[in-house]
């Protein structure tokens, strides 16, 4: 913030934006199910209208543009782990569709602007990411469990906790974005970015309890509709082309995130 060359602007990308830039990282869109389902129409607009505006901007100023896509394009996958060549298994009319289909349509727009207008695009499919500076009310599983454990509240496992996710520490993810942005122009993705270490949600709850030393008890709540059963990235492409793979283990990342929340919740 104190850097005189840093400028922050508050802007809704559903409206046109005229700025002069060299590179665009389009991460706009809530990513937590409770937040993107709060105003689902706006979620689709942000992904679709927002992508159109950012692509229009990139086209006008000839900027390189990276899209934060998502593992949700695979829906509830029937192929495991998920390679980029898998087309996915997405419900087009469910509660998660505003996010999943919005992000899928954004990928289409990116590839069509690339084919039609020769834009320099980069499409990254991000798998579950966590770390310090998440909002305590973010609503996703890692921050929920940590906040619950630190406050001595019940740990809310949805379903029986056998569903899996693969959690990537934020610093690893950012390094992946930058390496991808800096890679040759002919490498446009889509490329999976995530940590391939897969855990069940119950295992995650147990780890959080163990590291925090919390007395919280695990309680089981109903599984939300269309909740994906398993998720694990195949990161062969990222490893081979951009020489990237995550370095921070779940244990190490959880310790850093817990330390952050201990400070915040004081
Ligand atoms: N756009 C923008 N900033 C720019 C250039 C374009 O927000 O610097 C928006 C513009 O409002 C347009 C959208 O991006 O609706 C798509 O732009 P494009 O040039 O592809 O389409 P066109 O303007 O020809 O409809
Ligand atoms: N989940 C849970 N308890 C919570 C929040 C989430 O058991 O308090 C589960 C959720 O049902 C899902 C997984 O944890 O199976 C990951 O959920 P999250 O919302 O973090 O991200 P998703 O990958 O589902 O978008």
- Give the domain extent around 251: 23-264
Residue 115: band (very low, low, confident or very high) from pLDDT cuts 50, 70, 90: very high
Phi–psi pair at 156, nearest 5 degrees: -90, 100
Measure the CA angle with vertex 156, ends 234 and 258; round to 5°: 70
Catalytically active residues, by annotation? 99
Q: 161-209, pLDDT tens digit by residue?
A: 999 999 999 999 999 999 999 999 999 999 999 999 999 999 999 999 9
Name the average pLDDT for the chain: 98
Q: Is the beta carbon of 18 within 6 A of some atom in ligand 1?
A: yes
Q: 65-102, pLDDT tens digit by residue?
A: 999 999 999 999 999 999 999 999 999 999 999 999 99
Q: Is the beta carbon of 103 within 6 A of some atom in ligand 2?
A: no
Q: How far apart are CA 35 and CA 114, in angstroms?
A: 31
252 occurs within a structural domain: yes
Question: Which residues, in sequence order, are CB contacts of 80 under 8 Å at separation 6+?
Answer: 230, 232
Question: Which residues, in sequence order, are CB contacts of 25 under 8 Å at separation 6+?
Answer: 66, 68, 177, 181
Q: How many domains does the chain have?
A: 1
The pLDDT of residue 1 is above 90: no
12 occurs within a structural domain: no
166 occurs within a structural domain: yes
Omega before 211 within 30 of 0, i.e. cis: no
Atom of ligand 2 nearest to the CA of 231: 23
Which residue shows structure tokens 């607009």? 45
Name the burial class of residue 178, with classes exposed (0-12), middle (13-18) and buried (19+) by CB atoms within 10 angstroms of its CB: middle
55 occurs within a structural domain: yes
16 occurs within a structural domain: no
CATH number at residue 71: 3.40.50.720
Closest protein CA for atom 25 of ligand 1: 56
Q: 40-62, pLDDT tens digit by residue?
A: 999 999 999 999 999 999 999 99
Closest protein CA for atom 18 of ligand 1: 56
102 occurs within a structural domain: yes
DSSP state of 119: -
93 occurs within a structural domain: yes
9 occurs within a structural domain: no
Give me ligand 1 centre to Cα 193, in Å: 29
Q: Is the pTM for the entire model greater than 0.95?
A: yes
In this structure, the strands spanning 191-193 and 155-158 are unpaired
Q: How far apart are CA 98 and CA 86, in angstroms?
A: 20
């Amino acid at each position: 913030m104190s850097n005189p060359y840093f400028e922050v602007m508050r802007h809704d990308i559903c409206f046109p934006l005229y700025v002069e830039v060299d590179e665009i990282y389009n991460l706009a869109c809530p990513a937590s199910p409770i937040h993107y389902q709060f105003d689902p129409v706006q979620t689709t607009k942000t992904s679709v209208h927002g992508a159109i505006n950012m692509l229009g901007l990139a086209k006008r100023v000839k900027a390189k543009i990276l899209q934060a896509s998502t593992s949700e394009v695979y829906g509830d996958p029937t192929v495991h782990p998920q390679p980029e060549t898998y087309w996915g298994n997405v419900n087009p009319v469910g509660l998660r569709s505003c996010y999943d289909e919005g992000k899928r349509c954004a990928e289409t727009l990116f590839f069509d602007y690339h084919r039609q207008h020769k834009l320099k695009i980069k499409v990254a499919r991000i798998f579950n990411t966590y770390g310090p500076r998440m909002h305590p009310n973010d609503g996703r599983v890692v921050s929920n469990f940590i906040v619950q454990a630190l406050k001595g509240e019940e740990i809310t496992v949805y379903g029986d906790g056998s569903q899996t996710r693969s959690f990537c520490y934020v610093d690893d993810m950012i390094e992946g974005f930058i390496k991808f942005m800096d890679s040759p122009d002919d490498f446009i993705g889509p490329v999976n970015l995530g940590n391939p270490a897969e855990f069940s949600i119950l295992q995650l709850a147990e780890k959080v309890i163990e590291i925090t030393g919390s007395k919280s008890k695990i309680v089981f709540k109903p599984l939300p509709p269309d909740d994906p059963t398993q998720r694990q990235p195949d990161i062969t492409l990222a490893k081979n082309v951009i020489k990237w793979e995550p370095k921070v283990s779940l244990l190490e990342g959880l310790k850093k995130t817990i330390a952050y929340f201990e400070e915040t919740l004081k």
